[in-house]
Structures are given as C-alpha cells and as structure tokens.
A = this chain, B = another copy of it.
C-alpha cells in the first residue's frame, strides 16, 4: 500500500479513487456512490406509488435527473480512467452501469402520453443499480466455494422438483379439473410448485377428497426433500471449511502466511491495463499482464 506514487498522473489517481477502496478518497467515493444508488432506487419506488407521485411528481423528477446526471459522469469517468475501455463496457458491471443510466434519457426522446407506460419498464431497469452494492460487500469466499462445489447436486435436486411438479400437476389437473381452479396443465404445474416449495398461496386449492389426499402426499414429499439441498450445502461447507483450516495450518507451519487466508484476498486493487482483480496485498505488479499496481 505504501508504494511510491511519483509517476501517477490524474488519470491514475482517478482510477485509484473509482475502482479501488484502499485509500481514504477511494472509500469516500464508494460510500457516496452507495448512498446515491439507494436514493435512486427509493425514487423509482416512490414514483410507482400513485398518491405519492401525484403530490411530489415535480421533486421526484428533479431527483431522478440529478441521479441520472451523476451516474452519467461516473460512467464516463470509469471509461476514461481504464486503459482498455471496451473490456469495462462489456463486463457485467459495465453493462449494468449503462442500463441504469440510459432509461431517463430515452424518456426525454420518446415524449408522448401513450409511450410513457412502456418507458416506465426501461426506467425500472435502474433498479438493477442495486446490484452494484454487491461490490462493497466482501463476498464470502467459503460460502461461494461450497455453493459452487454443490451446484451439480443442487441442479439435480431442482430438476427433480420440476419433474415431480409436472407429473403431480398433470395428475391434479385430471383429478380436480377446471371447475376447481386447475384450468390447464401449466397452471396445475404452477400450483404444484407453489405447494412443493411450501409457499401455498391458497388462490388455488384442492376441493375434492382425492385431490386433497394427493396434495397431502405432495406436501409430505416436499417437506421430506427440503432436507436434501440443505444437507448438501451444509456438508460441502463443513468439508470446505475443514480443508481451508488445514491449508492455513500447513501454510502457517511453513511460515509462508502468518495471517489467515481470507484476509489475503481482501485487496481491492484492480489492474489499470487488463482490468484484473483480486491481487494479493503485497503484489506490486499485476499477476496477469505485469503492469505496475499502486
């Protein structure tokens, strides 16, 4: 962190502030951005409430324009400070940053009383700004690892839930029929998922004795199989956690790492050249392209 910063120009400084969070100004930028993202989501939400929008439409509109202009500046700054702008633009957050800024401008171009309703849909995309917040939360690596390790098993499990829903949904359609709300098979399958996942809205409910008997089987089945994904993630997590502990122990015996493993990962440096993340704390050069980091 305490590296020499003689040859850094304004672009590199801005890159440090925008993309990283280990300088005071970088942290301040991130917190301000976080506040604006939350404010913009609140504005979109309030606008959708009729009686609030009727009263404060003027102020909500001003607020939305303010947020949009600030996000535009931020978006341009992000493009300017990166050496390979295209890589940022087509990255996951690059696309989200663009989609969360553009709708308000589009509402300016397509003026018309009838078009407003459809534009609302585009405007709502700004809600996706919330995804940006994920950046500020250090992703729990162990958690991610155990979900990845068990993803095949979870997929097999969810597939089993879907197949059961299709079969039981079809049976219920035959048993209950259209007069009891099971108007067609897709709707019956939807109802079956509602029941298997123990949500149970109750907008559709079995009325015949046979239908209620089959529903009982579906529910007990659902109750029994809820154990499966929980058990899997839990077990993978224990395994993963034990493995990590052992690795840490061995590493600390050899004197390589003194701190715990997870802390090594928490560096927010991002390479200005190749846009690579997750550099170790003591790294002076990008491990991918060799560009100096600071």
* Residues of A near any B CB (own CB < 8 A): 41, 44-45, 48-50, 120-121, 124, 127-128, 130-131, 133-134, 137, 139-140, 142-143, 146-147, 152-154, 156-159, 161-163, 166-167, 170-171, 173-174, 183-187, 189-190, 193-203, 205, 209, 212-213, 215-216, 219-220, 222-224, 226-239, 241
Contacts and interface: CB of A to CB of B under 8 A. Distances in A.
Nearest to A137: B156
A162 B198 contact: no
20 contacts: A49-B185, A124-B170, A127-B185, A128-B167, A140-B152, A143-B153, A143-B232, A158-B223, A187-B209, A190-B213, A193-B216, A194-B219, A197-B222, A201-B201, A201-B205, A203-B205, A223-B229, A226-B230, A227-B234, A238-B239
A171 B124 CA distance: 8
A196 B158 CA distance: 15
Contacts of A196: 223
Contacts of A195: 199
A223 B170 CA distance: 22
A223 B120 CA distance: 30
A198 B241 CA distance: 29
Given A44-B185, A49-B186, A220 B174 contact: no
A127 B167 contact: yes
B173 A187 contact: no
Nearest to A239: B241
A231 B230 contact: yes
> Which residue among A140, A142, A173, A233 has the maximum number of chain B CB atoms within 10 Å of its CB?
A233
B140 A223 contact: no
Contacts of A41: 166
A173 B143 CA distance: 32
Given A124-B173, A187-B212, A234-B235, 4 more contacts: A197-B222, A199-B222, A201-B201, A231-B236
